Amino acid sequence: MRADIGPVAADALFLLAGYGVLNAIGFLRRTGTDWLAAVGLSFLAGVSWVALVAIALLTVGIPLTLTTFVALSVVSGIVGLSLRRDWLSMARTRPALGDWRQRIRSLPWHAWVAGLTLAALGAYAVSGGFLARVRPLQDWDAWSIWSRKAEMLFHSGRLSTDFFASSAYTFMHPDYPLLVPVFESIEYRAMGAVDTRAIHLQFWLLLMAFVLAIIYLGFRRGTLLEWLPLAVVVAITPSVVSQIFKAYADIPTALFLALGVLLLGEWLAKRDPKNLAVSVLFLAAAASTKNEGLVAAVIVLAVAAIVAFATAGRREMRPLLVAGAAFGAAILPWRLWLSAHGIQGDISVRKGLEPSYLSHRTGRIWPSVESLYEQVARGGWLYVVPIATSLALVCLLIRARRSIAAFYLASGMLAFAALVWVYWISPTTPISAFLSSSAYRVVAILAALSFAAILQLSVPSRDG
């Protein structure tokens, strides 16, 4: 029984923590409909917040136990909900049953379309959940990198230097961030055992929560009908579904990154500090999931700073400086722990900046460019990168959207260049084998940026 109820309880605690965080920021509106619609975003916010704090606690020697997780989630939820008590007014303003019936009868046609679409999405989510629940953990990165670390955390609850610094485990990339292993280990503790089949269901839940989060953001933005089909497309995109079923970290990284970039773009358009605060949370989550997420998050924050300075001058730099400091504080504990214990990855950034080292490896540039381009241009990603690029180029001609289009174009090009640079400086040989085993996954970063660009640039906000 615990194997079934435990993960549900853990997910409910993630949801509670997420509601607390979003409420403390002031992101949620004072209506029951808004809070109900925000369930997906709140769940992902809770996963992000709890995992980031848990990683920080682990680096200072505080073990990650089931008690720690429950306490962290409950405290985050209670404190967050108590900081802003406007949500209590929802109970006093709840309409009577007769009012609900009248509202249902008077719903416009597009509300019925949205409702039917959500019902179909729900059926799809349930069927996908059944498939995920019985899938074996058989893909290399899933068990050799992410689940291996999760099992270590499940059994010990601590960061073992004998494990991370051992030469016997260098193949598992000990420097990779810990959000996915922390998330998996929490679910394993809730189950009471390491169930590598059941963990796929939690990855599927992350994807479905992301879809609901996009629908909610479209709802509060006034573009629900336009964003609803795009959100559904994410749930059925072949490359997304196939990778989420493998329990790899690339799609979770892309999900967090897409939300962070989208909200950062919304902040550039409206200068609402609440958008910026939630954006930083998800960007920090992306950076704490994979190193590619860290690179992409740094790029988008830097580009956003340039765009903000170019359009509004110094007066908009202070919020971004605060956001940058918060982002740094979120990711720094893990980086400091790695440095303190002499744990390094197989890619040396220092060497990657040496002209002599780079000049002897220029033959790796074009194959990397060609392979990455082939991945983003093929149908598995539904041509999201070419579509976003074309849309951004068109929006450069529209004055009201020029700065946002420039933000997405610059971020995408720099992210593409950063991926090429990583392949250029990587010691892994031959480059062809390295590209064939990883390029199809790492382009999820580019897809995430492109998806956010399509959402924001395709239709202007109508939330006033």
Q: What is the DSSP string of 216-265?
A: HHHHHHT-HHHHHHHHHHHHH-HHHHHHHTTT-SHHHHHHHHHHHHHHHH
**What's residue 394's pLDDT?**
95
**pLDDT tens-digit map of 296-334:** 999 999 999 999 998 877 777 889 999 999 999 999 999
Of all residues in the chain, the percent with pLDDT exceeding 90 is 72
CB 254 within 8 A of CB 448: yes
Residue 377 has pLDDT above 90, yes or no: no
Least confident of 103-117, 122-136, 148-162, 177-191: 103-117
CB 288 within 8 A of CB 334: yes
The pLDDT of 206-210, averaged and rounded, is: 97
Residue 378 region, left (φ>0) first, then alpha (ψ -120 to 50), else beta? beta
Of all residues in the chain, the percent with pLDDT exceeding 70 is 94
**Chain centre distance of CA 130:** 23
Dihedral, CA of residue 325, residue 315, residue 279 and residue 45, to nearest 10:
70
The three-point CA angle 78-79-82 to 5° equals 85
**What's residue 32's pLDDT?**
83
Three-state secondary structure call for residue 173:
coil
Provide the mean pLDDT of the chain: 91
Neighbours of 118 (CB within 10 A): 16
For the chain, the domains span: 2-85+114-350
For the record, the structure tokens of 295 come out as: 């690179």
CB 59 within 8 A of CB 288: no
CB 227 within 8 A of CB 451: no
pLDDT class for 410, splitting at 50, 70, 90?
Answer: very high
The pLDDT of 199-223, averaged and rounded, is: 95
Cis peptide leading into residue 430 (ω within 30°): yes
Residue 103 has pLDDT above 80, yes or no: no
Residue 44 has pLDDT above 90, yes or no: yes
For the record, the structure tokens of 121 come out as: 């999405």
Helices (H) and strands (E) in the chain, counts: 24, 0
**pLDDT tens-digit map of 283-295:** 999 999 999 999 9
**What is the spatial distance between Cα 102 and Cα 279, in angstroms, rounded to a whole number?**
38
Residue 96 has pLDDT above 60, yes or no: no
The pLDDT of 393-403, averaged and rounded, is: 90
Dihedral, CA of residue 99, residue 104, residue 108 and residue 114, to nearest 10:
130
The pLDDT of 234-238, averaged and rounded, is: 93
Residue 110 has pLDDT above 70, yes or no: no
**What's residue 67's pLDDT?**
96
For the record, the structure tokens of 80 come out as: 């967050």
Q: Which long-range contacts (CB under 8 A, 24 or more apart) does 118-125 make?
A: 118/215, 121/211, 121/232, 121/235, 124/235, 124/236, 125/204, 125/208, 125/235
CB-side exposure of 280: number of CA atoms within 13 Å? 20
Residue 137 has pLDDT above 60, yes or no: yes
**What's residue 459's pLDDT?**
87
